[in-house]
Amino acid sequence: MAYSILLAPPAERQLKAFSQAVQKRLVKGLKRLQANPRPQGVKKLVGEDDLYRVREGDYRIIYTIRDKALIVLVLKIADRKEVYRS
């Protein structure tokens, strides 16, 4: 079963701020999450309930999974240096 990918408004703005090449790469990563929201290499964030991160080159995608509704909600997309800052 395929999951639906939903972008929170801040994540959507962050995605649009990247160059076209980076956007394409990140969208490919998001599409892979549709088929498998817990791919190899995914990390559960320490100290956070139900938050996961996946690497996409130098960028990180922070998201939560709602299994009952088959939804992956992307909360943040940013460079690895900035993604964990509040």
The whole-model pTM stands at 0.91
pLDDT at 80: 87
pLDDT at 86: 63
Q: Say whether 54 sits in a helix, a strand or coil.
A: strand
What the chain holds in terms of domains, given with CATH numbers, is 4-79 (3.30.2310.20)
Nearest to 10 by CA among 77, 84, 81: 77
Q: How far is CA 76 from CA 1, 61, in A?
A: 24, 6
What are the tens digits of pLDDT across the range 33-81?
A: 999 999 999 999 998 889 999 999 999 999 999 999 999 999 999 998 8
